[in-house]
Structure 1
């Protein structure tokens, strides 16, 4: 079974994915694939440098991810340019990893903020949307090192909540404790495949 976890940035998708992993599901992180694509595919990094300039690199030649994100999310055209460069290779690898994982695992979970943008809600068996209040999302993002303004900018750049709700099979409200989130996910797992996970 292929499950997609999505929601706006800061909603707690990665926390949810960790709980799925603890229960025996195999988790694929779209963010990690995106990082790997840039690090392991020189042609992708070269295109990013051409599009955004040498300033996106550290003196040692590594990608300044937060700086690139600030550039891209401050301008819709730049965001589209970034996505056009990175997403084709990312999605190709996502398809490969999910196909391989399903051969060996009863439940495979894809953790991806852009699951709906990519149309992957049509490819997975179950789409779970993690939702939290704007206050909770901004607080989580600030803890990760974003400024409050950067957090708000990121949230504005994503699909609206009503779009997530319209395309979700299940919505988990993540404004309560981690224990509540665990209970909700364990209940879902017992419903969709009690014999395939250890939770």
Structure 2
């Protein structure tokens, strides 16, 4: 069985940067955000179900899902988030299982923003948390998404708290350090994961 590392972290913690670093070292990165975009492409059954649930106001002028508008809806309404997850998660999980099964690299890094909250940690062998403090997350969200401070705080509140996330971690990457330090830590973890992957095949 392929070794699967669950990569998670709070919103705007730097998961994408870390995932790219693992990819460059030879890991097979499976990003559920990318798959989530695939399952709601124009013309897909997934997009039709989302529009049925939330209305055409979650579409942009081209008929593509407006992820920012949808994100604001679900962060403001926990019931809306549950409805969205019921539509998307089965479709995403089917593709995740296929890509893990097809992987020919030493191990898979499965990137799931809500790994612990959504129960996706059952699919992984180890949990790697990218960690920053909440003030950094709020500042990054305001820059990245044009969010207000209140919207950024609401986004954080929709996720599990930092302490709970860290308590579930097998490995932690502190993303408050320099880029060089972060990449050195990724290289160390890569060697550890290669060793664990070899142990599974011996």
TM-score (ref. length: structure 1): 0.90
**Cα distance 1:41–1:110, how it changes in 2: closer, same or farther (>3 A)?**
farther
**Cα distance 1:195–1:54, how it changes in 2: closer, same or farther (>3 A)?**
closer
The yes-or-no answer on 1:117 pairing with 2:141 is no
- Segments of 5+ residues of structure 2 without an aligned counterpart are 198-202
Task: Determine helix, strand or coil for the equivalent of 2:159.
Answer: coil
Partner residue in 1 for 2:54: 52
Counterpart contact for 2:13–2:137, Cα < 8 Å: yes
**Cα distance 1:11–1:26, how it changes in 2: closer, same or farther (>3 A)?**
same
Distance 2:82 2:49 in 1: 14
Q: How does 1:45-194 map to 2 (within 5 A)?
A: 45-101=47-103, 104-147=104-147, 148-193=149-194
- Segments of 5+ residues of structure 1 without an aligned counterpart are none
Task: Determine helix, strand or coil for the equivalent of 1:50.
Answer: helix
Deviation at 1:41, TM superposition (A): 6.3
**Cα distance 1:122–1:56, how it changes in 2: closer, same or farther (>3 A)?**
closer
The one of 32, 41, 44 aligned to 1:42: 44
Structure 1 residue runs of 4 or more that deviate by more than 3 Å after TM superposition: none
**Once structures 1 and 2 are overlaid, which stretch shifts more, 174-183 or 187-196?**
187-196
Deviation at 1:132, TM superposition (A): 0.2
Partner residue in 2 for 1:9: 11
Task: Determine helix, strand or coil for the equivalent of 2:145.
Answer: coil
Counterpart contact for 1:34–1:90, Cα < 8 Å: yes
**Once structures 1 and 2 are overlaid, which stretch shifts more, 36-45 or 131-140?**
36-45
Counterpart contact for 1:27–1:110, Cα < 8 Å: yes
Task: Determine helix, strand or coil for the equivalent of 2:18.
Answer: helix
Structure 1, residues 24-77: CA drift from partner, whole Å, max 9, x if none?
A: 111111100000001166221111111111111223212111111111111111
TM-score (ref. length: structure 2): 0.89
Q: Report how many aligned residue pairs link the two structures.
A: 194
Deviation at 1:137, TM superposition (A): 1.2
